[in-house]
Amino acid sequence: MLNIILFGPPGAGKGTQAQKLAEKYKLMHISTGDILRKEIADKTELGLKVKSIMDRGELVSDHILIEILQSVIERNPGVNGFIFDGFPRTVPQADALSAMLKLKGTSIAAVISLTVDDEELIKRLLNRAAELGRSDDTEEVIRRRLAVYNAQTRPLLDYYNHLGLLKETHGIGLIEEIFGKLCRLMEGLSQD
Ligand code: AMP
């Protein structure tokens, strides 16, 4: 398998690039944000539980996310690999992901981090808010999501760097240019 984490702050372009990479390398794209938004749209019990947390820009609890991941991985036994977008966001999630993959006899091949400075992120997220009308894209919530990222998720860069898995790419420029850089990083990876 070839399992990749696409890492970066909200607004870095993870979703767009993950979709393109999944298509090119025949990987399954798992966006935990999309999964949670669908639960909310479907008004499921889980959706009702997480809506207010997401609207505040805070993180949904680790055990909920880990359960979601477990079920997606179990329901897709035959895939070539996964591209994780928006997961893991905390150290317990990262530990759980390694354990889940180990049980399947596989592991993370690389963590590709898209770097974008805060000012550009806020600009992009405000544009996206105007286009898509996501309920967590108001300026106040955007700032909260960036603060949450810096406090709880950014430490994973060190975590994966220590494991020798981290690869960084500047996430500013044309979508196709960034995609080209990501593809060059992908070519050097080996499957397990
Ligand atoms: P995203 O679309 O990845 O920016 O996620 C939108 C929101 O979903 C986040 O602000 C969190 O409230 C929630 N969420 C998505 N993924 C996770 C995760 N791995 N851990 C905790 N909360 C998450």
Edge to edge, the sheet with strand 108-115 lists: 28-31, 82-85, 3-7, 108-115, 166-170
CB contact set of 143 (below 8 Å; sequence gap of 6+): 122
The atom number, within ligand 1, closest to the CA of 90 reads 20
pLDDT of residue 180: 97
CB contact set of 9 (below 8 Å; sequence gap of 6+): 116, 118, 121, 146, 149, 150, 153, 154
Q: Ligand 1: distance of its center to the CA of 144 in Å?
A: 12
Q: Which 8-state DSSP code applies to residue 173?
A: S
pTM: 0.95
Question: What are the φ and ψ backbone dihedral angles of 111, each rounded to 5 degrees?
Answer: -115, 115
Which ranges of 42-117 does DSSP label H, i.e. alpha helix? 45-56, 62-75, 91-103
pLDDT of residue 88: 98
The atom number, within ligand 1, closest to the CA of 32 reads 16
Active site residue 145: yes
Active site residue 134: yes
Give me the tens of pLDDT residue by residue for the chain, a chain 192 residues long.
Answer: 999 999 999 999 999 999 999 999 999 999 999 999 999 999 999 999 999 999 999 999 999 999 999 999 999 999 999 999 999 999 999 999 999 999 999 999 999 999 999 889 999 898 888 888 777 778 899 999 999 999 999 999 999 999 999 999 999 999 999 999 999 999 989 888
pLDDT in tens, 80-124: 999 999 999 999 999 999 999 999 999 999 999 999 998 899 998
Q: Which residue among 32, 34, 83, 138 has the greatest number of ligand 1 atoms within 8 angstroms of its CB, and so is best to mutate?
A: 32
Which residues have C-beta atoms less than 6 Å from ligand 1? 10, 32-33, 36, 53-54, 57-60, 65, 86-89, 93, 136, 145
